[in-house]
Amino acid sequence: MHTLTHTNFNFPGQKAVYKGKVRDVYTLENNLLLMVATDRLSAFDVVMPKGIPYKGQILNQIATKMMRDTQDIVPNWLLATPDPNVAIGLACEPFKVEMVIRGYLSGHAAREYNIGKRMLCGVVMPDGMKENDKFPNPIITPATKAEKGNHDEDISKEDILKRGIVSKEDYAILEDYTIKLFQRGTEIAKSRGLILVDTKYEFGKTKDGKIVLIDEIHTPDSSRYFYSEGYEERQAKGEPQKQLSKEFVRQWLIQNGFQGLEGQLVPEMSDAYIETVSNRYIELYENITGETFIKADTLNITQRIEKNVLRFLNTMQ
C-alpha cells in the first residue's frame, strides 16, 4: 500500500515550509501558498504511525469541491488544484481560532454533557438532551489553534475578545461566515441523504486585509455526518447513530486504550485495519460528494505531485 506520509519538496520560489498534523504547507513567492494533503491520520491531536491510502486525495478533493460550492457566499483562499493531493491559493495570516459549529449534541460536546457540564465555550446547552439530539439552534464553540504539539483548547467568544485574539469587528465576520457556511453545508448534506452534525472552519486574512475561508471544509476530518434515513428511529430507541466521520477511528482507539493522554501508547494498526479505514474514507467521499471516487496513481506519489505542480507553476509565469 503506497501512502504519502512525509514530503520534502523544493519548489521554485519556495520560501518556507510548515508541517501540520495532516497537511504540509509550502510558502512560495508571489504571495502563494501550496498545501499538500498527506495520508497521515490524526486523532486526539496525535498523528498515527501509519498512513491511510488515498486519504490525502480524498480530503483535498472534498475540500476543493466544497470550497467551490460555497464561494458564492463566503470568499476563500483557493486558486487551483494541480494534483489530486495539492491545493494552491493565496497566502493568508490565519486567525488563531477554529470556528467550531455544532447542530447536534455529539462527539466532544456529548462527552462534556455526559459528565454533567451544561456550558461549552460560554454557550449554555439545554437540560434534558440525549446524545445526538439536535440543538434548538446551532451553537458556535470555538477552539484556540494549538501551537505544534499541544491540544486545541475550548475558548469562549468573550475570552477571544478579552484576550485580543480576534478583534470584535473581525469576530462578527467570522461568526456570520460560520453560520452561512453551516447552513449551506447542511443543505448540501441533506441533498445527499446526510445530516451535517458539526464541523469547524478556519479563516485567514489576505495581504489586502480581506477575510477568507482557508484550510479544509466539510471533510470527514473536520466534520461529522449522520445518515438521515433512520435518524429519528435510532434516537427514539437510544441506539447509536450511523455516521460518516473519523469518529469510528476515535472509537477504535478508545476501545484499545488510547485517548491521546500522557503515558498512553498508540495501538498497532494492522494492514487489514488500515485497509478498512481507507475503504471507509472512500465511502465518506462518495456519500459526501455524490460522485464515484477515482483512485489516483500512487506508485510514486511524490514524483507525480512534483511534476503536476511544476507544470502548473510554469503556466503562471
Q: For the chain, report the end-to-end CA distance as a whole number of angstroms.
A: 37
CA distance 284 to 244: 6
Q: Is residue 258 part of a domain?
A: no
Average pLDDT of the segment spanning 250-271: 90
DSSP annotation of 34 reads E
Q: What is the CATH number of the domain that holds 116?
A: 3.30.470.20
Contacts of 235 (CB under 8 A, 6+ apart): 130, 132, 133, 241
Task: Summarize pLDDT for 213-239 with one digit per residue, the tens.
Answer: 998 899 988 899 999 999 999 999 999
Split at pLDDT 50, 70, 90, the class of 44 is confident
CA distance 158 to 148: 25
Q: Is residue 252 part of a domain?
A: no
Average pLDDT, the chain: 93
Residue 148 confidence (pLDDT):
53
Average pLDDT of the segment spanning 21-45: 93
Instruction: Check whether residue 237 and residue 101 sit in a common domain.
Output: yes
Q: Is residue 50 part of a domain?
A: yes
Residue 316 confidence (pLDDT):
80
In the chain, how many domains are there? 2
Query: Do residues 245 and 41 touch, judged by C-beta distance below 8 A?
Result: no
Q: For 240-249, b where at least 16 C-beta lie within 10 A, e where not — what string?
A: ebebbbbbeb
3 state SS of 174:
helix
Which three cell numbers mark 154?
475550548
Residue 150 confidence (pLDDT):
55
Q: Is residue 311 part of a domain?
A: yes
Instruction: Check whether residue 173 and residue 224 sit in a common domain.
Output: yes
Residue 67 confidence (pLDDT):
96
Split at pLDDT 50, 70, 90, the class of 146 is low
Amino acid at 169: E
Torsion of CA 179, 223, 17, 79, to 10 degrees: -60
CA distance 199 to 220: 9
Q: Which of 196, 228, 244 is the last residue of a domain?
A: 244
Residue 147 confidence (pLDDT):
60
Q: Is residue 9 part of a domain?
A: no
3 state SS of 164:
coil
CA distance 54 to 85: 9
Structural domain of 72 = 14-93+268-315
Instruction: Check whether residue 228 and residue 146 sit in a common domain.
Output: yes
Query: Do residues 37 and 85 touch, judged by C-beta distance below 8 A?
Result: yes
Over pLDDT 70: what percentage of the chain? 97
Q: What is the CATH number of the domain that holds 46?
A: 3.30.200.20
Task: Summarize pLDDT for 126-144 with one digit per residue, the tens.
Answer: 999 999 999 999 999 999 9
Instruction: Check whether residue 126 and residue 76 sit in a common domain.
Output: no
Residue 246 confidence (pLDDT):
79
pLDDT at 149 over 60: no
Has this prediction a pTM greater than 0.85?
Answer: yes
Residue 250 confidence (pLDDT):
86
Average pLDDT of the segment spanning 21-46: 93
Q: Is residue 251 part of a domain?
A: no
Average pLDDT of the segment spanning 256-277: 91
pLDDT at 94 over 60: yes
pLDDT at 145 over 90: no
